[in-house]
Amino acid sequence: MGAVMVLPVYGMFQIFSGPPAQRWSAWNFAATIFVAAIVGGLGGLRVWSLDRYGAREPGTNWRFVAGVLLVGGALAVAMYLAWW
């Protein structure tokens, strides 16, 4: 649900920020959808975490979430550098 809310904002930014020839390129289209899914997904997880138990929320382990994202990012960079 978060990605659905973020996608129009990123789409409008992409349409108005680039040169006319590159606005609808496959790279820009895919990157916009990917980034909207990541940001919207993280925002949705945060809202779900806050609304799940109300005032008795057991704290989300954000260090674990950050660690998983950092390891995933490092693996993605390593795979890119290895031409995978």
| Residues 1-25: tens digit of each pLDDT | 667 777 787 777 777 777 777 777 7
The domains of the chain are located at 2-81
How close are the terminal C-alpha atoms of the chain, in Å? 31
Low-confidence ranges of the chain (pLDDT < 70): 1-2, 51-58, 84
pLDDT value of position 58 = 66
| 61, containing H or E segment | none
* Euclidean distance between CA atoms 56 and 7, whole angstroms: 32
pLDDT value of position 27 = 78
